[in-house]
């Protein structure tokens, strides 16, 4: 029988953060000058990640996304991909990356069996990229996206966080760029997640406003009928272009959320907004069997009642949900630790 939580939601997907480190400092995620990192000895090895993944897939997970931090900072990542890709229980194996190191890794990741890649790309302007990420690696990201397209990934996606006063004037250019690399853009509403210490409601560009701007340019936007647990709502333009919007801030999708999240040090979170999680590293390193891990996962998911984004929406606060002092005390509250 399918494992379900308190609201009847199955556990179908697992996002695995393989590192809390990142080579960019995006304003919406890591805008602070200094960070507290997870202790190195706590970071899971690939064998440990695979062992925990097996326990999750035995309880119903069939979709895996590798994330971070920046996952390509784990240099041997294709080895993890190959190990996960060889598991029949995993029907979908995807990766989210900022693309900086993608040029030299795209082909190896594809050969290792990775199914899909999503690259974060928030602007097409070099100067903005520098201001937004603190890095001058814009060209590397664009080359990385081309390398992913050439490596033959069937469903290349570009994730763009839209922030007012930063990049909301690039919707049309980003759609046009995506077409040239055969990718689909997903515009993401700026979320008040841990780490977004500069978040404010005024900086959120709501889905309705994005659709209005795109529709005005293209002469219409048609919602596609597709219904699934995927957070992006998809739309079709008159010229055949498709794109998605993830309205996590103004229209949360907690009711269909089937995601488990594993941090790089093996803490399992039931929600992006959860204040804490279940430490799976400890039992794993203490020698817990697959059956014991499964039982733990089963028991915890059965009691899940999280609906963090909906609760956040209901709060209507003007300040950030997780204050900086809390982030300094507990790195697990940071988005770059939880995995986006």
Binding site for ligand SAM (CB under 6 A): 22, 28-29, 67-68, 70, 96-98, 120, 159, 161, 188, 190-191, 193, 196, 335-336, 340
Give the residue with the Cβ less far from ligand SAM, 90 or 204.
Answer: 204
CA distance readout (Å), 88 to 11, 61, 64, 85, 237: 17, 12, 12, 8, 37
Pick the closer one to ligand SAM by CB: 273 or 301: 273
Shortest Å distance, C-beta 294 to ligand SAM: 28
Q: What are phi and psi of 23, to 5 degrees?
A: -95, 5
The DSSP 8-state label assigned to residue 286 in this structure reads T
Number of H helices, E strands in the chain: 12, 12
In this structure, the number of other CB atoms found within 10 A of the CB of residue 150 comes to 13
Q: Which is nearer to ligand SAM, 3 or 119 (CB)?
A: 119
Closest approach of Cβ 71 to ligand SAM, in Å?
A: 6
For the CB of residue 327, give the shortest distance to ligand SAM in the complex, in Å.
13
CA distance 340 to 5: 22
Question: Smaller CB distance to ligand SAM: residue 52 or 145?
Answer: 145
DSSP 38: P
Select the residue whose beta carbon is closest to ligand SAM and give its number. 340
CB of 212 to ligand SAM, least distance (A): 20
Pairing of strands 259-262, 267-269: antiparallel
CA separation for the pair 224, 288 (Å, rounded): 46
> Which of 198/285 has CB closer to ligand SAM?
198
CB of 45 to ligand SAM, least distance (A): 20
């Amino acid at each position: 029988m399918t494992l379900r939580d308190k609201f009847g939601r199955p556990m179908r997907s697992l996002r695995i953060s393989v590192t809390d480190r990142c080579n960019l400092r995006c304003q919406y995620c890591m805008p602070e000058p200094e960070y507290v990192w997870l202790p190195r000895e706590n970071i899971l090895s690939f064998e440990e990640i695979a062992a925990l993944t097996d326990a999750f897939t035995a309880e119903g997970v069939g979709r895996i996304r590798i994330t971070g931090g920046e996952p390509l900072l784990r240099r041997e990542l294709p080895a993890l991909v190959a190990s996960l890709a060889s598991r029949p229980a995993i029907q979908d194996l995807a990766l989210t990356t900022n693309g900086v190191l993608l040029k030299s890794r795209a082909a190896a990741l594809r050969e290792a069996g990775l199914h899909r890649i999503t690259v974060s790309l928030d602007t097409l302007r070099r100067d903005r990229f520098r201001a937004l990420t603190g890095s001058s690696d814009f060209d590397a990201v664009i080359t990385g996206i081309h390398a992913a397209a050439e490596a033959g990934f069937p469903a290349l996606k570009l994730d763009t966080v839209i922030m007012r006063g930063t990049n909301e004037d690039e919707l049309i250019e980003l759609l046009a760029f995506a077409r040239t690399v055969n990718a689909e853009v997903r515009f993401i509403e700026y979320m008040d997640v841990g780490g977004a210490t500069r978040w404010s409601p005024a900086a959120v560009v709501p889905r309705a406003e994005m659709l209005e701007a795109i529709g005005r340019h293209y002469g219409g936007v048609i919602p596609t009928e597709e219904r699934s647990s995927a957070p992006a709502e998809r739309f079709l333009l008159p010229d055949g272009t498709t794109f998605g919007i993830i309205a996590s801030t103004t229209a949360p999708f907690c009711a269909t959320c089937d995601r488990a999240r594993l941090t790089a040090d093996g803490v399992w979170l039931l929600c992006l907004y959860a204040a804490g999680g279940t430490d799976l590293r400890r039992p794993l390193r203490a020698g817990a069997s697959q059956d014991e891990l499964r039982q733990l996962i089963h028991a915890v998911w059965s009691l899940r009642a999280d609906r963090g984004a909906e609760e956040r929406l209901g709060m209507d606060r003007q300040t950030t949900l997780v204050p900086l002092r809390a982030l300094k005390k507990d790195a697990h509250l940071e988005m770059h630790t939880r995995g986006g």
